[in-house]
Amino acid sequence: MRKRLVFVQRGKAEDTKALEDALKGHGWDLETIVLSKDEPLPKSLENIDGLLITGSDLNVYDQSVAPLAVY
Rounded to two decimals, what is the model's pTM? 0.70
- Secondary structure of residue 52 in the 3-state scheme: strand
**Element (DSSP H or E) covering residue 20:** helix 17-24
* 4 close to 47: Cβ distance less than 8 angstroms: yes
Distance between first and last Cα of the chain: 42
Quote the pLDDT of residue 63: 66
Task: Identify the pLDDT of residue 6.
Answer: 95
4-60 residue pLDDT tens: 999 998 877 678 888 889 999 999 999 999 888 899 999 999 999 999 988 776 666
Tell me the residue ranges of DSSP E strands in 1-71: 3-9, 28-34, 50-53
Judge whether residue 71 has pLDDT over 80.
no
